Amino acid sequence: MVSTEEERTAFLEALEESLRPLMRVVFEYGASYQDLADVMRGVFVSELRSRLERQGRSTSESRLGLMTGVTKKEVETLLAAREIRAQQRALANKRSEQLGQLLTIWHDDSRFSTPYGAPLELSLKPEGTFRTFDQLINESRIELDKATIIQNLVQAGCVEVHGNRFVRCVSRSLISANADITQIAYLGRTSAALNSTLVHNLLSEDSEVSFFERTLVPGFPMSEMGRFQLQSQLKIEGADFVTELDRWVSGAAPDITDEKNGKHCGVTMFFFEDSKAPVVTAS
C-alpha cells in the first residue's frame, strides 16, 4: 500500500513535470517569479474557498487567510482580481463558442456549403442570388455583430475578406498559426481540459464513469522523418475524425442538448514528443 506521504511526493513531482513545459512561455512573455507566485496563491485561495463552500463551511476572508497564511487584505485582493479575470474568460469562451457555431453551420448547412462540405463564398452586401454573410449570422443565432465576427475570424486565420465584397472561409479551426491572444487563451483552456480529465480519472469513485483518454507512445526513438510522417498521418486521419465527430454532434444536438442541467464537453487530439522516454544509446 502506497503511503500518503509517498502519494503526496509523487503528486508534487507530477505537478512539477506538468509545469515545466510552460517555463518556455513564461520566459518568452516576460513573466516573473513573483507573477507565478501570485497566480499559484490566487488559484489556491480561490479553489480552497470553493471547496469550503461545497462542504458548507465558512468562507470568510479571515478564515481563508488563517488557513493559507495570506493576510485578509491579500485574500480580498486576490479574489477580486480572479473574479474580474473569470468574467473576462467567460466572455472570451462565449465568443469562441459562438464563432465555432457559425463555422459549423457555414460548413455543414447545405444553404451555405457545397454538397461536398466546402463553405460557400458569402457576399458582404446583398448581390443577386448570392448568399450573404448576414444570412449566415442570422442562422447561427449568435450575439456578436458582423464587424466583431469578421475581425475575430480574420485574426484567427479562418477567413479572408476580398475587396470588401465577399468573405471566404479558409479554415474551420479557430486557432491561429501565430502566437496571438487567441492561441495563448487556447493554451490555458486545453491544458486545463487535459488536467481535468486526468484528475477525474485519478480520483473518480468506482461508480463514476471514467473519461475517454488514450495515449500512443512508440517503443522506439523516431527519426526526424518518422516524426514528420507521424504528424502528417495524424493531420489527415485526426482531422477527418474530428470533422466527422463534429458533424455527429451537430446532427444529434436536438436530442442531446440540456440547457438547464447540461455540461459543455469536448475532444482534443494532439501530437507530442515524450521528453521522459528512455534514451537508447549504443553500447
**Of the candidates 22, 27, 24, 20, the residue with the CA atom closest to the CA atom of residue 276:** 20
The confidence score (pLDDT) of residue 256 equals: 94
Could you give the residue ranges of the DSSP H alpha helices within 109-158? 133-140, 146-155
The residue whose grid cell reads 461545497 is: 54
The rounded mean pLDDT for the chain is 87
Edge-first strand order for the sheet with 159-162 is 122-123, 166-169, 159-162
How far apart CA 100 and CA 107 sit, in angstroms, is 11
Q: How far apart are CA 101 and CA 103, in angstroms?
A: 6
pLDDT surpassing 60 at residue 21: yes
Set of cell numbers at residue 194: 487535459
Lookup: cell for 166? 465577399
Percent of the chain having pLDDT more than 70?
Answer: 94
pLDDT in tens, 110-157: 899 888 778 999 999 888 888 999 999 999 988 888 999 998 899 888
Spell out where the chain has E strands.
122-123, 159-162, 166-169
Q: Is 92 exposed, middle or buried (0-12, 13-18, 19+ CB in 10 A)?
A: middle
Supply the pLDDT for residue 184: 83
Give the pLDDT confidence of 70-108 residue by residue, as tens digits.
888 889 888 888 888 888 878 888 888 899 899 999 998
pLDDT, tens digit, 9 for 90 and up, residues 152-194: 899 888 999 988 889 999 888 776 545 467 778 888 889 999 9
Please give the average per-residue pLDDT across 212-236, as a whole number. 92
Residue 282: pLDDT band (50, 70, 90) is very low
DSSP 236-282: HHHHHHHHHHHHHHHHHHHHH--TTT-------------TTSPPP--
Between 28 and 282, the more confident residue is: 28
Residue percentage of the chain with pLDDT more than 90: 46
